[in-house]
Amino acid sequence: MSPDPIAITPERARVALAVERWVADVEGEYPSLDAALLAARSAAPLTESEIDEAVAHHPRIGEKPTGAGASAQFSRREQASAADADDAIVNAAIAAGNRVYEERFGRVFIIRAAGRSRAEILAELERRLALDPADELPIVGEQLVEIALLRLESSLAEAVASGATA
């Protein structure tokens, strides 16, 4: 007996990455979680306008996400993993770096926070501030896709565990 297919619904995809072209590309049924995640990864890279579309739905790193939707809940969990043991000096440096980044690049700083300490986030922020906009843009797209894959994997794993895969 083969396992039930894994369904990426438009709603599930949109929570992972609010880019309509990407949502349309990944929506569908897949034979496994790995196949679904491969399809999601294959739908990248993102264009500049898609990056802007996605960034509009992300809070600044270090700020509390607002709202009660699934996307805000994911952001709270992702940022909480990096916030617990870090001090006010690093947090203040990230806030200052966020402002400089926004002035330089015209968008909020995006990084996959899950699994990273605040010090690691700050070091990456400082490194990326030195990049040219043309070099920074694909990194933003890669980070958005990394975030989307983590969110999608979590959402799909929960669906598999509950038996609601299709």
- Residue 138 and residue 48: Cα distance in Å, rounded? 8
Amino acid sitting at position 70: A
Query: Quick count: other Cβ atoms within 10 Å of Cβ 29?
Result: 14
Match 């926070």 to its residue by tokens. 113
Residue 108 near residue 142 (C-beta atoms within 8 A): no
Query: Does the annotation count 57 as an active-site position?
Result: no
- Residue 98 and residue 82: Cα distance in Å, rounded? 16
- Out of 12, 58, 118, 151, pick the active-site residue: 58
Q: Check residue 68 and report its DSSP letter.
A: S
Tokens (6 digits) for 125: 């922020």
Residues recognised as catalytic? 58
